[in-house]
Structure 1
């Protein structure tokens, strides 16, 4: 009889613990809004959730990379727009400078304005990003990529590395072009060399027919170089615009993918509140019954004599 009483007590206690555990579990589900609170609730669903969460984290990294790439490309686009305006003005001035009726003083004044454009373009070419790094220096972004020598001539001292961002699983996008590709600064008749040649010749008084021939020759070659540079800047600008458009498309794709992930998680993990509330009420009744049964077992006389 003593063993029977102990057995009844243990059974009653186990039932109480089980009912209480189930009651608390449903309470946690309701408070969290999730059917799977612990991996043991549904190992398969929990494993799926881990995989989906990892995929979401990777996609968020791509989204962050797209933000960074868009910032760099937008800044580059702004620089290219300003550079285009500078070049257009410089071309206009070179046409004016070719007027044979101008005096040396007139040409010198045009040369002074061209020098302002020249310095403005150098400043644009040495633009910095929001982190204090030079935008167009390639991977050598800690120092100005365009430098002037004692004569004021510009050379490119950056590298030709192209910074890129992994903006999606299969897309490594160039986020900024190096200065060599944009301004084509080298030892031949590039943008800066063309402008400097024009500035120098306009500052030199014209002496006789030889001087006029030299003026015309330099202005013609400088104008041609500016035309080529302008076309190149427009080409890079078009490429930047295409990349910005692509980022918009990838954002939409990424957002849709995130929504799909959320739908998968919702279908496998979210709680059916109607069923949960019904189960909660049922477990509450079961817990109360188990509590009453446990109290009744404790009142058994033979149990008290043990």
Structure 2
């Protein structure tokens, strides 16, 4: 078969172009560190890559959301810890105010300190994050949750919601807590009932916070104890009282008279509970036992300030009222601390769940990366070896082309 010079040249050029194209493709693969540069290189792998990349993007977004949620909850947990420290300090000052050796002036100094702590409490309740969103305002992140009214009371103007953030395919997590839940929905008294003394009492009787003996037996009624006689000839004194039982549902009242109690001994006439009255009440003094209601932490601290600010010098009845007020405030502060602890526990639980989700998401992300590498990744060692081989082939093709193209009969004439 005859081969013309043009065929030789064309074949040589085509061979070099083919090797150059393969070398160029290998070079691009090395530059991109990818085996598949276009869908035509491997249609099946390209389709799987698209699906895997989309799944990885969604997973990455969840990881970012988890990080954002974790930061927000960490800030809330920090503020809650500060609140616990503040309430514990207020409680210590309340205990100090109960020191019988303190003068009215010393208690007034404590009241001034408590007023400053109340302002700090308001500041913590109105904490905001780096974006200016309030932590305890519910859904209304841009609304300051607590404001002081003209009468001096603290009012909540947020809502009862919890802001949510999606941190998984089927998991939304709360990244805030309502101010109502943290500061307002706190049961006063011992959580079941509240004891108190009449404002016009003239004796030294002091009622304690009481305790629940049988929750099922507690009626939820309001009770009023009125002292009808006092026998101070014995020690401790024995008093007679009448007990009025009022059903809040119907307003009906029943009175039981001629009941006795000894100062400091448990009074058990009310079903399911007991309490005691220390000191010596006088005839006409009254004491109350009512069902617990929700009382805000701000109201508790303000009530404590008012109690501590009341002068008692030379007035034994006022001293008894001070002890009753301080006792009630201490119980209410304990309830507030318990509520803060509950909220802290829920925040900690959410942070723990986020950490678990993040660990899982990170592992899933690594699996996606490995899957993508298996689909379209490049074996660097093999690619470099192929690149070197193609370079040698190209050099050989170029050299042989030069030699063949130089062949001519005219060289032998």
Provide the TM-score with structure 1 as the length reference. 0.85
**What secondary structure is seen at the aligned counterpart in 2 of 1:140?**
coil
| Whole-angstrom distance in 2 between the partners of 1:65 and 1:52 | 20
1:58-82 C-alpha deviation (Å, 9 max, x unpaired): 1221121122111111111111111
Paired residues of 2:184 and 2:294 also in contact (CA < 8 A): no
Secondary structure of residue in 1 paired with 2:115: helix
**1:185-243 per-position Cα deviation (integer Å, ceiling 9, x unaligned):** 69953211011011112222238455334333332322221111100101111222222
* Contact residue 98 and residue 323 of structure 2 kept, 8 A: yes
- The equivalent of 2:174 in structure 1 is 174
Q: Distance in 2 between matches of 1:277 and 1:55?
A: 31
Q: CA deviation at 1:129?
A: 0.5
Alpha carbon RMSD of aligned pairs, Å?
2.9
Question: TM-score, structure 2 length as denominator?
Answer: 0.64
* Match of residue 242, structure 1, among 349, 353, 356: 349
Query: Which residue of 189, 201, 204 corresponds with 2:310?
Result: 204
Say which structure, 1 or 2, has more relative contact order (CA 8 Å, 6+ apart): 1
User: 1:172 Cα deviation (Å)?
Assistant: 1.4
Output aligned runs, 1:32-111, within 5 Å. 32-111=32-111
* Greater mean alpha carbon deviation, residues 254-263 or residues 92-101: 92-101
Give the aligned partner of residue 115 of structure 2: 115
Secondary structure of the residue aligned to 1:37 is: coil
Deviation at 1:164, TM superposition (A): 1.9
**Could you list the per-position Cα deviations for residues 112-171 of structure 1 after superposition, in whole angstroms to 9, with x for gaps in the alignment?**
121121111111111110112211111222232111122322121111111122222232
Greater share of residues in helix: 1
Name the count of aligned residue pairs: 298
Deviations 1:9-37 (A, max 9, x none): 87766555433322211121122222112
Alignment correspondent of 2:267 = none
Q: Which runs of 5+ in 2 are unaligned?
A: 187-292, 409-413
User: 190-199 or 91-100, which moves further after superposition?
Assistant: 91-100
Do the aligned residues in 1 keep the contact of 2:73 with 2:176 (CA within 8 Å)?
Answer: yes
Q: Which has the larger radius of gyration?
A: 2
- 8 Å CA contact 2:52–2:372 kept in 1: the answer is yes
* CA gap 1:139/1:155 in 2 versus in 1, 3 angstroms: same
Unmatched tracts of structure 1, length 5 or more: 302-306
* Mean Cα deviation higher: 250-259 or 98-107: 98-107
- Cα drift, residue 284 of structure 1: 3.8
